[in-house]
Each structure stands twice: as structure tokens, then as C-alpha cells.
């Protein structure tokens, strides 16, 4: 008999797969119940207009809802009142509401001690006078150094991980609005590093490359387009991320699974940009590549006395990248679509998060997800782009505009 696990969020399929690998029986409430999610778990759909609060009503009144802990997925970390109400109903498998709120603060990364090979990006709450003056004299130079980051608007409707791009180019005539900050623009390789923690030790599960603005042609600039991983890090980078994960877990009292987003810059420095105190979809890719189960990681099984070692990196090719990697890409369109039956768009096993036929999908929102296993990162990137294009052509040939 497998123990039950409740999973809530706007796209729970990756977490349900992780729960299965760890020996749980997942029970999910999702914004849109995909065909493949039904194969993994008992699932209920949350009405879009009531997300996420209606999840509590479903959890309270559903006769088949198990008496089990809850695993959070995107974007529930940005709803503190919802989290407080949820924690009063069910135990959370992970960080508690106060720790989640603290982790989402812009000040969270300031808690990091000095760590070799690591430097958090610079965040400015406003443009100081000298910057505004220089921007008038050298507009292109100043604007290229910063991006505009939209802070999560607590309580306002939002979608799944990466659905709406929250980082934008700083337009020449754009003024910062309330709820926006400037974030230093770093050239390099965007990443997500996943961890498991008991609040004291932190195990680096793996690191994936984030695909921003692609590979699907319907992605907006800087919008989350997918991920490829695990990727290989240098030893200083691995040590820096391991120390950062442990420091943040201890100082914020994090529990369970969490992630650090950032950029590996051109000098090889680790530049953290955000802390994500919940399960992230990158964990599904890491598990597929390593045959591991993140929810059974040593910090989650053995408690505070465990001193786990980071897992050995996967075998590398001659280029230094892992010999076998997994990739995922969100297929997006620039137009609103009524999605056809996608089962025939690609070979079985290459598509995930498949919506029921005739589901209306707004422009820029993920239609489905392409999954690829390949020999190396660059080969994976190429195959993802090709298959995203195949799916888009399939949709365009069969789906009317909404």
C-alpha cells in the first residue's frame, strides 16, 4: 500500500511523476487536468476563476481526498493567505508558510555569506538620480545593464511556472511602476539548481539549464521555454551552490525541496537571482536522467543528523557535458487556439501535459510539453526545437483560432 500525497498547483504532472518514483500515491488538484496527469494520479480541476482558493473547497469536500500531507507546486508560493489556510487543514511536505514568505522576499539572497565563485545579482528597488541622468545621456548602455522584474502580486490571479514572463527588457521610455524593480542583467547560462533539505543539511540534487524565450516560436522574450539537464558544473561552482543551499536552508528554516535560479556568467561565477521554496519541474528532468527520487533524498529520510554528500555528476562526454540528458520545452503559440487532439502530434512518450481536445488555450500559454532524451545538451536543444515546430504545425493545421 503506497502512502498518499496531495499535490496542488497550476501544473502538477511533473510532481505527480516524482511522487510515483518515490513510492507515493499522488492525488492532485490542478488548474487544467491533462490526459497524462490522469494516468499518474487521481486529479481534480480547479475552476480558473477561483484559483487557488477553490482548491481549499475541493480539498475540504471531495470524498476521495486523502488525509495526507501536501506538496506545493507553482505558483502557490506567492499566495501567503492561501498557504496559511492550507497549513491549518493539512501538513505541508516542505517549508512552512512563514519560511516560504521569507524566501520569496527580495532580501532573501542577502542572507548568503561570502562564498567563493558566487555573487548574487544586484537588485535596485528604484532608479537613483545618477542612473536617470546617465540614462538620458547614454540610454542604450544603461538600459542594457538592467532588466525590469515584476514582483509577484499577492492575491492576484497568476498562472503556472513561466506562463507570464515576469522579467522584461527595460524600455528606453519606460518608468518603473509600483511592484517593479531593476535586476542586473547578466550574460551567461541561466540555470535552476534543485535541493533537498531538512533545515540543516542541503543536498544538491542537480542543475539544469533554463531555456528563456524558446525554443518554441510562440515564446515571448525572456519567457520560460523549458529546461535541459542535468548539466555539468565546475568543482568551484558545485561547492558554491552547495554552500549557498545549506546557508539559505539554515537561515530561512527551509524544509523539503527547493531551488535556486540564477545565471552562470561568462567568468564562471554563480549569480543567484531568485529562491524558489517548493518543488520545481526541473526535478522531474533530474530524476529521469539519474534514476533517483528526490522525495527520498537523504535529508528528507534521515533528519538533522544526516550529512549527505552531493550525488556524483552523470558520466560526461568528451565536451564535458553529461553523456545523456533530458529536455523539456513548452509549446506556445502567438495566437489563441482551440487545441485539437494532440495524441498523434508526436510519437508516444514524447508529449506531456496534454490538454483534452477542444480546450481553449490563450496566446503565449503552454499548449503542451515536449520531452526529449538525447546524447548531450546541444543535441537535446536541437531536437526540442524541431519537435516544438512539428507540434505547432500540427496545431496550426487542425486548430481554429479562438
Which grid cell is 167? 522579467
If residue 286 lies in a helix (H) or strand (E), which one and from where to where? helix 282-290
Q: Tell me, what's the pLDDT at 87?
A: 97
Q: What is the mean pLDDT of residues 223-250?
A: 96
Summarised one tens digit per residue, pLDDT across range 209-233 is 999 988 888 888 888 999 999 999 9
The least confident of 144-158, 245-259, 362-376 is: 144-158
Compute the average pLDDT of residues 163-190: 75
Confidence tier at 131 by pLDDT (50, 70, 90)? low
Instruction: Classify domain 4-93 by CATH architecture.
Output: 3-Layer(aba) Sandwich (3.40)
Report whether pLDDT(310) > 60: no
What are the structural domain ranges in the chain? 4-93, 123-184, 187-302, 325-398
> Residue 13: CB partners within 8 Å, gap ≥ 6?
30, 34, 36, 37, 40, 352, 353
Measure Cα distances from 283 to 5, 16, 57, 259, 326 in Å.
Answer: 17, 11, 29, 9, 11
Check whether 166 has a pLDDT greater than 60: yes
State yes or no: pLDDT of 130 exceeds 90. Answer: no
The b/e string for 59-70 (b: 16+ C-beta within 10 A; e otherwise) is beeeeebbebbb
pLDDT class of 60 with cuts at 50, 70, 90: very high
The helix/strand count (H/E) of the chain reads as 11, 18
Average pLDDT over residues 190-210: 96
pLDDT over 70 at 337, yes or no: yes
Q: What percent of the chain has pLDDT over 90?
A: 63
Residue 302 confidence class, pLDDT cut points 50, 70, 90: very low
- Calpha distance 198→94 (Å, rounded): 9
| Residue 176 binned pLDDT confidence (cut-offs 50, 70, 90) | confident
Confidence class for position 178, pLDDT limits 50, 70, 90 = confident
The whole-model pTM stands at: 0.89
Average pLDDT of the chain is: 86
The burial class, CB within 10 Å (0-12 / 13-18 / 19+), for 76 is buried
Which CATH number is 187-302 given? 3.30.470.20
Higher-scoring residue by pLDDT: 183, 167: 183
Q: Mean pLDDT throughout 333-346?
A: 90
- DSSP characters over 90-134: S-BSS--HHHHHHHTSTTGGGG----TTB-PPPEESS--HHHHHH
What DSSP assignment string belongs to 176-211? PPTTEEEEE---EEEEEEEEEESSS-EEEEEEEEEE
Amino acid at each position: 500500500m503506497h502512502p498518499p500525497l496531495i499535490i496542488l498547483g497550476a501544473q502538477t504532472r511533473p510532481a505527480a511523476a516524482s511522487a510515483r518514483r518515490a513510492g507515493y500515491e499522488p492525488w492532485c488538484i490542478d488548474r487544467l487536468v491533462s490526459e497524462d496527469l490522469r494516468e499518474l494520479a487521481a486529479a481534480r480541476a480547479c475552476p480558473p476563476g477561483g484559483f487557488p482558493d477553490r482548491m481549499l473547497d475541493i480539498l475540504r469536500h471531495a470524498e476521495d481526498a486523502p488525509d495526507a500531507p501536501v506538496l506545493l507546486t507553482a505558483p502557490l508560493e506567492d499566495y501567503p493567505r492561501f498557504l496559511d489556510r492550507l497549513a491549518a487543514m493539512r501538513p505541508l511536505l516542505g517549508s512552512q508558510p512563514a519560511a516560504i514568505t521569507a524566501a520569496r522576499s527580495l532580501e532573501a539572497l542577502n542572507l548568503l555569506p561570502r562564498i567563493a565563485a558566487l555573487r548574487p545579482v544586484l537588485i535596485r528597488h528604484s532608479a537613483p538620480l545618477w542612473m536617470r541622468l546617465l540614462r538620458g545621456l547614454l540610454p542604450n548602455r544603461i538600459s542594457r545593464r538592467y532588466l525590469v522584474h515584476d514582483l509577484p502580486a499577492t492575491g492576484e490571479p497568476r498562472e503556472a511556472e513561466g506562463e507570464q514572463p515576469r522579467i522584461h527588457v527595460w524600455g528606453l521610455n519606460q518608468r518603473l511602476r509600483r511592484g517593479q524593480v531593476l535586476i542586473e542583467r547578466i550574460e551567461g547560462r541561466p540555470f535552476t539548481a534543485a535541493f533537498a533539505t531538512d533545515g540543516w543539511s542541503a543536498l544538491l540534487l542537480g542543475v539544469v539549464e533554463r531555456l528563456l524565450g524558446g525554443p518554441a516560436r510562440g515564446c515571448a522574450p525572456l519567457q520560460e521555454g523549458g529546461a535541459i539537464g542535468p548539466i555539468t558544473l565546475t568543482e568551484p561552482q558545485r561547492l558554491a551552490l552547495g554552500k549557498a543551499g545549506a546557508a539559505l536552508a539554515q537561515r530561512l528554516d527551509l524544509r523539503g525541496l527547493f531551488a535556486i535560479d540564477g545565471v552562470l556568467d561568462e567568468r564562471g561565477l554563480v549569480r543567484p537571482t531568485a529562491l524558489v521554496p517548493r518543488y520545481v519541474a526541473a526535478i522531474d528532468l533530474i530524476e529521469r536522467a539519474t534514476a533517483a527520487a528526490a522525495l527520498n533524498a537523504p535529508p528528507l529520510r534521515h533528519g538533522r543528523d544526516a550529512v549527505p554528500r552531493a550525488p556524483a555528476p552523470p558520466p560526461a562526454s568528451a565536451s564535458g557535458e553529461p553523456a545523456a540528458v533530458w529536455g523539456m520545452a513548452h509549446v506556445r503559440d502567438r495566437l489563441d487556439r482551440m487545441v485539437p487532439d494532440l495524441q498523434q502530434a508526436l510519437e508516444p512518450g514524447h508529449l506531456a501535459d496534454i490538454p483534452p481536445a477542444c480546450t481553449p488555450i490563450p496566446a503565449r500559454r503552454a499548449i503542451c510539453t515536449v520531452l526529449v532524451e538525447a546524447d548531450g545538451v546541444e543535441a537535446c536543444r536541437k531536437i526540442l526545437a524541431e519537435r516544438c515546430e512539428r507540434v505547432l504545425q500540427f496545431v496550426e493545421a487542425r486548430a481554429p483560432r479562438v
